[in-house]
Amino acid sequence: MSLPDPRLHAAMQAAVQIILSTVSTASSRMVDALGMLALSAASNAQRQSFMSAQFDLQRKLSAFNMSFTTVLNEKVAKELNPRVARSLAATDWASLSLVGDSEVEEQVTAHRLSLEIEHECEWELRELDAYIGSLLGIGRADPERNPIRPEILGQALFRSIEAVTPDPGVRKTLAAELGRALAKAMRPCYGAIVSDFGARGIHPVGLAVKAGVPGVAAGYDPTAAHAGGAAPMPPAPPGLKHDWQQAAQALGSMFGMAVPANFGATGAGALAGGFGPTSSGGGTLHSGPGSLGAGRAASDAHMLDVIRRLAFAASTPGALDAVSGWAAGGTVSPAGAGPASGPGTLSGALNNGLSGLMAVNLIRTHREELMRASTGALDHMVIDIVASLFDQILSDTKVPPQMARQIARLQLPVLRAALKDMQFFSSRSHPVRRFVNRMASIACAFEDFDEGAGRRFLELVRELVQQVVDGDFDQMDQYDTKLRALEAFVHEQSRDEAQAHVEAVELLAQKEAKLRIHARFAEQMQSMLRPVAVQDFIRGFLHDTWTLVQVEAALRHGPDSDVAKRLRGMPRQLILSVLPKGTPAERKQFILALPQLMKGLNEGLALIRWPEDRKKAFFGELLPCHAQSLKGQPLTDFQYRQLDTQLQALDHMAIPTAEEVPLSQAAAPTSEQITSFSLEEAAQVGLVEEAAIDWDGNVDIDLESLDSSSGELDINLEGLGPEMAPETPTRGVQLAQYVQAGVAYQMHTEEGWRKVRLNWVSPGRTFFIFNHGKKHQKIISMTGRMLTKLCETGRFRAFEQAYLIERAVARARKQLAALSSKS
């Protein structure tokens, strides 16, 4: 072990500043991200948690950054200073203390945050540890001696979250979201630190290999990979063998292929040239003289130059026009493609084109050039796999042709991401996959790209794709930025569509506010009626129905209007009408008041358009009670005074305002509440009522009778394993909790299946507005209960059974299995 490098403190100060800048940027972006998460939350509790976290973080953002800076500097300084050992004998009893709950929570949370960062930045940390080992003079890469390791960042992040809020629930939300965001941001951050160390002339401790052709391991014949095989290779370095096996297994699990047991032993030598533990965040590879990283860097730079040149050439007009060289079955290669790989190999199985591509497959067109630029068996496998994926993507009938051409422009950037970052295959949350999938999903919701919102979306996508093509392919952050731009467009478009149907939106918003008020008022009525001795059917009528009458009268005529006051006294009169009358005077008074009681009840029930059958059933139970009350034993004076006190409290119940009732109070409308829509209101919002649906009808899908443009050809897509199943449900009763504005769905009504687009969701997710049609769009609205019932009975489902790339993988798996069975 040698002395520490004299540049240690200066280099670590620069590294800490890079980290602080990254954390500051990530926390600022998280404020906006929490707002977007609140808008798309699946439940009211989750939405409230995101809103509280956003409010606290925005209010205490400076305190958060200051606390993180202080804690990080303290911990890094402690790591760099020599540790002084203290013997147990020198410790007195006053120095001993129990570990408190807060300390345990800090350790557990900080450990969880550090694991998330460590998992996301595995390759970058290995490279960084080599530099730290050189700076500290320990002669080896020791992750435990790294002063800026994820464990230190996790502790600093926890202390910073503590400075933002004392609420445990908000802390938990912030820890989850900030941890996830920081984990992604630390990949380019660690890459930048490595670049800075290299610029300072610091050399990492590493494994030396015999010098040879740059980027090619000794004994590896690149021409063998073109023939579908690989020449014998020297054993992999001990520290890399396991990593190459994991990379190959990621590809194998995605495509359902069997990975050779000796792949790590025979393939790692070739992999050293084309794929390795590099920084996908844009960090430059720096290695000492004669190290393994120098060859990788040279080969990687050459591959990047080739991809950039091909991507630029593909931006010229007409470069992506679909060629006619594809034959059904895939025996004809497109112009420019070299000879197919040997039969029986992965390359041979995947190099089968498809008919009907909406744009040319650039990876297949320039396959030979890409193969020559890469120098590893795994790289060759990745090139063929990504080419096969784009065969499926560019022939997907759910993707509009206009959007398919824009996605086709991303072929080479996607290939670059797949070559640089194996998580592209193993993680569905990879930024590139999320960006491509989201582009396709949003495009599916538009019927026309020649004008209106569809045209604006296409222009936005064209601009975003051009920025990717012109930018740095290795910066994964740019895909997250583009994804946020797409989400912002969807949010803005939903707001514009809500303004276009402002009358319907305002009406449904008022209805939802009324539902919240009614739910709270019904709770108050229930508590008031609990001690009152009255028949159950009357108690239920007052709780469920008459509370709705009182709310409707107060909102329509005002709480102090004569109508509202008159209807407010009906519960007292109804309860008194069924009490026993012991004297002739009481019976006479009842007979005189009965017509007025019946008139008030009918007036209130007409206000909410209560169905006639239910009205007859209620009065059918009420009349026998009235007859029985003329014969019963009257109440005692004490019982009557007690009842009068209870009824006075009932008379003085105030109807709450919408501001007094939170959104969480909203509930699914009951049948009485649905009938409160007048015929004009129902027609105005296109309300779908339960009575209009034949719930016993057949909803089976006849694929042969459906037009391909409807997208139903993929409704029974097979081959989706658990690792590719959508993160949110695509059918079933749970789908109702995950529908979101701007997304396309399939709805079955009496007119059959139709594609609809969700435009607006009420704040309490009680009402939903959809539109359908191309030129002349019509709106359809429904309650949350109606939507749930449609999902439960199979009449409502997602337009996409799986995201675009997952669908492509499933079809490629099926194609590969079919070709393998024939060979």
Please give the full DSSP string across 140-190, using - where no structure is assigned. Answer: S--GGG-TTSHHHHHHHHHHHHHHH---HHHHHHHHHHHHHHHHHHHHHHH
Euclidean distance between CA atoms 802 and 715, whole angstroms: 10
**pLDDT (tens digit per residue) in 224-246:** 333 333 333 334 444 344 445 55
Question: Any idea where the domains of the chain sit in the sequence?
Answer: 8-82+99-199, 504-671, 678-822
Euclidean distance between CA atoms 270 and 233, whole angstroms: 7
* pLDDT computed for residue 276 by the predictor: 34
C-alpha distances out from residue 589 to 454, 471, 596, 601, 602, Å: 70, 88, 12, 18, 20
* Residue 189 pLDDT exceeds 90: yes
Q: Averaged over 202-218, what is the pLDDT?
A: 48
507 Cβ contact partners less than 8 Å away, ≥ 6 residues apart: 681, 684, 685
Mean predicted lDDT score pLDDT of the chain: 75
Query: Confidence band (pLDDT; 50, 70, 90) for 193?
Result: very high
Q: Which of 768-771's residues contact partners 24+ apart within 8 Å by CB, and which partners?
A: 768/739, 769/498, 769/501, 769/504, 769/505, 769/508, 769/685, 770/745, 771/497
The residue length of the chain stands at 823
* pLDDT computed for residue 229 by the predictor: 37
Phi, psi of 4 (to 5 degrees): -60, 150
Query: Confidence band (pLDDT; 50, 70, 90) for 601?
Result: very high
**pLDDT (tens digit per residue) in 304-351:** 888 888 887 776 665 666 543 333 333 333 333 333 444 444 444 444
**pLDDT (tens digit per residue) in 706-729:** 433 333 434 345 445 555 556 677
**pLDDT (tens digit per residue) in 724-771:** 556 677 888 888 888 888 888 988 877 778 888 888 888 888 889 888
CB 729 within 8 Å of CB 713: no
What's the pTM?
Answer: 0.56
DSSP 40-108: T-SSHHHHHHHHHHHHHHHHTHHHHHHHHHHHHHHHHHHHHSPPPP--GGG--GGG--PPPHHHHHHHH
Considering only residues 749 and 293, tell me which one the structure prediction assigns the higher pLDDT. Answer: 749
Helix (H) or strand (E) holding 757: strand 752-761
Range with lowest mean pLDDT among 207-221, 370-384, 722-736, 774-788:
207-221
Query: Confidence band (pLDDT; 50, 70, 90) for 20?
Result: very high
Among 267-281, 293-307, 584-598, 771-785, name the most confident range: 584-598
Among 200-204, 446-450, 579-583, 596-600, name the most confident range: 596-600
Q: Averaged over 41-48, what is the pLDDT?
A: 81
* Residue 578 pLDDT exceeds 50: yes
Residue with tokens 């089968």: 352
pLDDT above 70 covers what percent of the chain? 73
Q: Give the bridge partners for 770, in sequence order.
A: 758, 780
* Residue 823 pLDDT exceeds 90: no
Phi, psi of 747 (to 5 degrees): -125, 135
Q: Give the bridge partners for 756, in sequence order.
A: 745
Q: Give the bridge partners for 342, in sequence order.
A: none
Query: Confidence band (pLDDT; 50, 70, 90) for 618?
Result: very high
Euclidean distance between CA atoms 324 and 68, whole angstroms: 59
* pLDDT computed for residue 19 by the predictor: 93
CB 72 within 8 Å of CB 20: yes
* Residue 385 pLDDT exceeds 80: yes
Range with lowest mean pLDDT among 151-160, 191-200, 224-233, 384-393:
224-233
Helix (H) or strand (E) holding 116: helix 101-120
Q: Averaged over 579-596, what is the pLDDT?
A: 87
* pLDDT computed for residue 252 by the predictor: 57
* pLDDT computed for residue 264 by the predictor: 43
* Residue 691 pLDDT exceeds 80: no
* pLDDT computed for residue 312 by the predictor: 78
* pLDDT computed for residue 732 by the predictor: 86
Considering only residues 155 and 293, tell me which one the structure prediction assigns the higher pLDDT. Answer: 155
**pLDDT (tens digit per residue) in 491-502:** 888 888 777 778
Considering only residues 780 and 93, tell me which one the structure prediction assigns the higher pLDDT. Answer: 780
**pLDDT (tens digit per residue) in 635-669:** 888 888 888 888 888 888 888 887 777 665 555 55
CB 146 within 8 Å of CB 188: no
* pLDDT computed for residue 426 by the predictor: 78
**pLDDT (tens digit per residue) in 103-131:** 666 677 788 888 888 888 888 888 898 88
Considering only residues 815 and 823, tell me which one the structure prediction assigns the higher pLDDT. Answer: 815
Listed residue (548, 555, 667) closest to 614, CA to CA: 548
pLDDT above 90 covers what percent of the chain? 11
* Residue 263 pLDDT exceeds 80: no
Euclidean distance between CA atoms 137 and 146, whole angstroms: 12
